[in-house]
Amino acid sequence: MKIVPRIKQQPERLIDENGLRVDGRRVDELRKMKMEVGVLKQADGSAYLEQGKTKVFVAVYGPRELHPRHLALPDRALLRCTYRMASFSVEERKSPAPSRREIELSKVIRQALEPAVFLERFPKTAIDVFIEIIQADGGTRCASITAASLALADAGIPMSDLVAAVAVGKVDGHIVLDINDIEDKYGQGDMPVALMPRKKQITLLQLDGKWTPEEFRQGLELAIRGCEQIYAMQKTALRKRYLEVREEVLREGE
Ligand code: UDP
């Protein structure tokens, strides 16, 4: 049996003569997205999100009693985020032990969500957000933030706004929206951005690679427009869930 390597090869170019990307998208186009809310029975709130081939589940528990107790904050809830990648989610098996990258991303995601949550309403408690990457094809931190804010809303946790996130990248000299794994690997830079769209408040901005001030401006504008499109999809997913719950309650009352 011939063993064929499954590792993605570097393509000759990332943008063709028609201005289309490796997966056929235009430079300002998001990947196809699917969002579902209330997908896990055990959790207080949950969400499932697909962004192209990236797939993520989020479960939220809380506000609940905090263990160990000494971590409790007297004036607000402690928001805890755990970002984990399944061993089978990437091309080269990921070790199940928590990696430095997972620990860092858990913190980055928490910091992107914190400004939206009214933590001061639940002193001494914990709100736990568990993020499981089932399949990774780039942009997992942003997909996690988008899905986590849906799961928090599903758990009924008061928030001033949802948080929507997307990464833009510099690819073959073009600024492109919502980069996938191959664009992330072989492009010249990426910039993940999270936004509270109603308040126009940026809660995450990272930058990798060399960007001129003009490229940065263009990238940020593209990311904000992308977040606004994602925000509209988040609201639709939440509305759909609430209509389902309403139907269930009405049926039970019959
Ligand atoms: N990746 C991988 N193995 C790993 C970590 C990451 O193959 O152990 C891939 C995965 O597709 C991920 C991408 O590299 O989405 C980019 O990872 P990065 O650290 O830039 O974070 P992300 O873009 O997912 O937020």
The torsion defined by the Cα of 11, 229, 134 and 242, in degrees rounded to 10, comes to: -160
Segment 152-200, tens digit of pLDDT: 999 999 999 999 999 999 999 999 999 999 999 999 999 999 999 998 9
Give the C-alpha separation, 187 to 177, whole Å: 12
SS3 for 127-152, per residue? Answer: EEEEEEEEECCCCHHHHHHHHHHHHH
Q: What residues form DSSP beta bridges with 167?
A: 192
- Tell me, what's the pLDDT at 155? 97
Length of the chain, in residues: 254
Give the C-alpha separation, 195 to 9, whole Å: 33
Segment 65-111, tens digit of pLDDT: 999 999 999 999 999 999 999 999 999 999 999 999 999 999 999 99
Q: Is the CB of 140 under 6 A from ligand 1?
A: yes
Alpha-carbon Rg of the chain, whole angstroms?
19
Give the C-alpha separation, 12 to 43, whole Å: 45
- Tell me, what's the pLDDT at 192? 98
Please tell me the distance between residue 121's alpha carbon and the centre of ligand 1 in angstroms. 35
- Tell me, what's the pLDDT at 159? 98
DSSP 106-124: HHHHHHHHGGGB-GGGSTT
Lowest-confidence pick of 11-20, 123-132, 169-178, 244-253: 244-253
Ramachandran sector of residue 24 (left: φ over 0; alpha: ψ -120 to 50; beta: rest): left
Q: Which atom of ligand 1 is nearest to the CA of 54?
A: 15
Please tell me the distance between residue 122's alpha carbon and the centre of ligand 1 in angstroms. 34
- Tell me, what's the pLDDT at 9? 80
Judged on CB neighbours under 10 Å (0-12, 13-18, 19+), 41 is exposed
- Tell me, what's the pLDDT at 253? 83
pLDDT of residue 143 exceeding 70? yes
The residue-averaged pLDDT of 34-60 equals: 98
The pLDDT confidence band at residue 5, using thresholds 50, 70 and 90, is: low
Q: Which of 51, 92, 181 to mutate to test the pocket of ligand 1 (most atoms within 8 A of CB)?
A: 181
- Tell me, what's the pLDDT at 12? 87
pLDDT of residue 115 exceeding 90? yes
Is the model more confident about 46 or about 254?
46
Contacts of residue 122, defined as CB under 8 A and 6 or more positions apart, other chains included, come to 62, 63, 76, 77
**Helix (H) / strand (E) containing 219:** helix 213-253
- Tell me, what's the pLDDT at 4? 60
Average pLDDT, the chain: 95
pLDDT of residue 136 exceeding 80? yes
CB 45 within 8 A of CB 154: yes
Please tell me the residue having the least CA distance from ligand 1 atom 17.
Answer: 138
∠ Cα 186 34 201 (to 5°): 75
